[in-house]
Amino acid sequence: MNINIKRGGDDFFFNRLFSFLSRELDVEIKGMTHLRGNVYLVETVSKKIIIKGFKDLRKLKIQETFASSLRKSGFDQSYRFYNQNKDPLHFHGSYYGCIEFIDPHEQRFDYSVQKDREEGVELLKRFHDHTSVLVSSYAGMLPKTDLARKWRHRKNEFTKYLPAVNRYVNKSLTNELLEWADFSLTNFVKLKNDLETESPAILHGDVAHHNFLRSKAGKLHIIDFDLISTGSRAYDMLQYANRILPFLDWQFESLAKIEHLNQWLHVDAFLYGLLYPADILREWNRLLRESMQSNPYSLAPIVEMTVSQYQQRKRFQEEVKSRLDA
């Protein structure tokens, strides 16, 4: 029996969970690896599966049901849950779901690769096409997307951490970041209804690169539905645009060449949303919330992102504002 314990995990908890799963699962476990958080890779005698823990049974059930609904709708570029008709695996305050393991390709999905960026947005568009017909089935089960509220909270948290941020980044720069955030948020709130004229879809809510997974066979999948909500697909597309802009050197013209994103670039609310410094505020908040600033390997990339991209971001701000004023 090969128990593979990864650094950073709680060995006692890991071993107890391994023993629990060995008793409860119908197959023999050969080994287990802690991936991140409450997610584990379990290798059985016949296949690999992902075990993921949820603090709330309702959240697990929504995840299971949504994955099943996606598959029934004809969307086959994600994972399935196993054991949906059995009693949930309950251990140490968490409910564990068993998820299909997708054997990954040797080349990971990467936003720095043009082909991946284009394939990712195409997959996101297909995801929305399928989830738009599922919205009514999940009425009352999923929250409605409130991007303005999320951004306001992010800005307020960053403001709280500002004295700590200014130990590493010049105060004039962080003041300008907050000016961008205020300008973006104020105008976005006024105009966001312009993004909600189409029928809503179920949104992914976290289109980070690690939530796109290419299988060994080369097929791209979208995974991790922890943050699904209902709303305009423009909100996922806006987040996608914000995620890839650093890899486009903050060039508006490059963004305009990407199909499924360019259709939103004539909507002022979308343009105001592009001005919000979502990534910088998110990463500083995470670093300081988790008290990781003393770790140079955690701190250095965020300082680098904040300082080295400043001039490019500033030019992008000016470019977008000129379009808004036209």
Pair (128, 91) in one structural domain = no
Looking at the domain assignment, is residue 19 inside a domain? Answer: yes
- Same structural domain for residues 162 and 133? yes
- 109 inside domain: no
* Burial class of 268 by CB neighbour count within 10 A (0 to 12, 13 to 18, 19+): middle
- Are residue 182 and residue 303 in the same domain, yes or no? yes
168 plus 298 within the same structural domain: yes
Burial class (CB in 10 A: 0-12, 13-18, 19+), 39: middle
Question: Quick one: 75 and 193 in the same domain?
Answer: no
164 lies in the same domain as 302: yes
Which residues contact residue 134 at a Cβ distance below 8 angstroms, ignoring those fewer than 6 apart?
Answer: 66, 69, 70, 73, 202
Quote the DSSP letter at residue 208: -
Q: Are residues 56 and 205 in the same domain?
A: no
Residue 131 and residue 153 in one domain: yes
Token reading at 216: 């060994």
Residues of the chain short of pLDDT 50, as ranges, are 1-9
The two tokens of residue 34 are 């802690």
Taking only the tens place, the pLDDT of each residue in 57-105 is 999 999 999 999 999 999 999 999 997 567 889 999 999 999 999 999 9
The pLDDT of residue 86 is 72
Count: domains in the chain? 2
pLDDT of residue 87: 82
User: What would the two tokens of residue 3 be?
Assistant: 């128990």
Structure confidence at residue 227 (pLDDT)? 96
Determine, yes or no, domain membership for 79: yes
pLDDT given for residue 326 in this prediction: 76
Q: What is the CATH number of the domain that holds 91?
A: 3.30.200.20
Report how far residue 283's alpha carbon sits from residue 275's, in angstroms, rounded to the nearest whole number. 17
90 and 171 inside one domain:
no
Q: Are 149 and 268 in a shared domain? A: yes
Of 100, 131, 149, which residue sits at a domain end?
100
> Same domain for 207 and 270?
yes
Range of the domain at 76: 2-100
Q: Please report, for the domain that includes residue 246, its CATH number.
A: 3.90.1200.10
Quick check: is 107 in a domain? no
Statement to judge: residues 185 and 94 lie in one domain: no
